[in-house]
Amino acid sequence: MVNQVKNVQIAYIGGGSRGWAWGLMSDLASEQSISGTVKLYDTNYEAAQQNAIIGNRLLERDDVVGHWEYEAVKTLKEALTGADFVIISILPGTFLEMKSDVHTPEQYGIYQSVGDTVGPGGMVRALRTMPLFVEIANQIKENAPNAWVINYTNPMSLCTRTLYHVFPEIKAIGCCHEVFGTQKLLASMLEELEGIQNVDRRDIKVNVLGINHFTWIDHASYQNIDLFPLYQKFVDKYYESGFEGENIGNWLNDHFSSAQRVKFDLFKKFGIIAAAGDRHLAEFMPNTWYLQSPEKVREWKFGLTPVDWRIGRSKELYEKGKRLASGEESFVLNPTGEEGVQMMKALLGLGEIISNVNFPNRGQMAGVPENVIVETNAMFRYNSVQPIHSGALPTSINNMVLRHIHNQEMTLKSAMDCDRPLALSAFKQDPLLSSITPEEAEELFEKMLFNTKNYLPGWEFETVIK
């Protein structure tokens, strides 16, 4: 008989999502050991209502083993009251602000493949996101202080850091699947070089160190095989062409694909495995390395993700949502590969799991300040997340990580104090801006800040920046 925990209460902030929310529905529908209610809160109440209809339709299906009821609520307090878990997955601002984040720097020759974590786009996105997370943290403190909080919103490090800054006793983690992709790459390597078929990425054991989207692996094994010597051969074999498996040329058409050439180059430079997607890794380095121009990006076989594509995709998902809610289209159960549900199960006492998470540094990662958000492995068990001691990164890599950590700390303080000079100082020091002058960086900063002013309470704007 399967052990069960019933009446689990989940508050979903960003519950109108047509991405993460549908993924959570799919994962919960396939899990029979926990059941309960998901309260969907979103600033777009109609979108949350639509998702409630879609989620509740699953109760009628024979192929659904998880019993979950979905309820759209109008206030954050209503969502949080009684919550065992809080999931945060929001879009800070609109696509208009995102367009400025990603494309305004192109006027200065600065290209970003994602624009949501570091670089000029990541920083300005952070400045408008942190006031939202201040409010969320205060509401959790008041209405659900003992709930476990799982954040999926980017910029992951600063969002999670803000939660702890406002409410130090919060039980929050940030979850990201980028390391999973590297485990899958290592599984493909085993098939390619050793003929070992059907390796589950979970059986690739790795030690994770770094910060979100700039994570590194200094130990990797499969059963009794040390994967580092194999990875060296793998990199040597595919360094020039890249490795695409059966998806040759897919990076040309899929904004989320790459040929892993950035990963391979970083391994050659630093000797350990970079464990995030190429699109993210490239943004942490000086822009002359991988993001100097669209032509340079194509040479490295990854892509820039234009916001117009995201807008078009959003419209497609909007129409799909209407079809799902009306019953015109059937909801396809498609496991996400995320570990959020497994984490919740472990926290409820249903087993244990080790996974990589973003969590305050309490000694698990050496060589960086305490309390900053780092990404390492952690053990999940009943009502406990225990970070695993992961050691230290090589000095050459740790210096780069520290630069971004200090920039993030400056960004946090500037957001809390509405300190424009401090924000500008952090902005100028980002490696992606290394090819422009300080004067150009300040001009770009003012333009981008003005374009996101609607989400910057307490900041002053005297002139219109064109």
pLDDT digits (tens, 9 = 90+) for 423-458: 999 999 999 999 999 999 999 999 999 999 999 999
Which residues of 227-334 form beta strands (DSSP E)? 273-274
Let me know whether 266 and 379 are in one domain: yes
In a domain, 330, yes or no: no
On whether the CB atoms of residues 349 and 5 are closer than 8 A, the answer is yes
Tokens, residue 324 = 């799902």
Q: What pLDDT shows up at residue 247?
A: 73
Q: Is residue 465 pLDDT above 60, yes or no?
A: no
Q: What is the CATH number of the domain that holds 280?
A: 3.90.1820.10
Let me know whether 151 and 255 are in one domain: no
> Considering 176, 194, 222, which residue would you say is the last residue of a domain?
176
> Considering 123, 150, 176, which residue would you say is the last residue of a domain?
176
Burial of 324 (C-beta count, 10 Å sphere; 0-12/13-18/19+): buried
Average of per-residue pLDDT values in the chain: 96
Q: What pLDDT shows up at residue 305?
A: 93
Q: How far apart are CA 130 and CA 126, in angstroms?
A: 6
Q: Is residue 1 pLDDT above 80, yes or no?
A: no
Classified as helix, coil or strand, 365 is strand
Q: Is residue 213 pLDDT above 60, yes or no?
A: yes
Let me know whether 265 and 402 are in one domain: yes
Catalytic residue, chosen from 67, 103, 177, 406, is 177
pLDDT digits (tens, 9 = 90+) for 312-325: 999 999 999 999 99
177 catalytic? Reply is yes
Let me know whether 17 and 104 are in one domain: no
Let me know whether 446 and 406 are in one domain: yes
Q: Is residue 24 pLDDT above 70, yes or no?
A: yes
On whether the CB atoms of residues 394 and 271 are closer than 8 A, the answer is yes
Percent of the chain with pLDDT over 90: 94
In a domain, 439, yes or no: yes
In a domain, 327, yes or no: no
In a domain, 315, yes or no: no
Average pLDDT over residues 206-222: 98
Tally of structural domains, the chain: 2
The closest of 246, 334, 258, 242 to 291, measured between CA atoms, is 258
Let me know whether 140 and 186 are in one domain: no
Tell me the residue type at 380: F
Percent of the chain with pLDDT over 70: 98
Q: What pLDDT shows up at residue 463?
A: 60
Let me know whether 247 and 131 are in one domain: no
Q: Is residue 347 pLDDT above 60, yes or no?
A: yes
Q: What pLDDT shows up at residue 394?
A: 98
Q: What pLDDT shows up at residue 2?
A: 59
Q: Which domain holds residue 199?
A: 94-113+177-305+338-456
336 DSSP 8-state letter: -
pLDDT digits (tens, 9 = 90+) for 121-139: 999 999 999 999 999 999 9
In a domain, 396, yes or no: yes
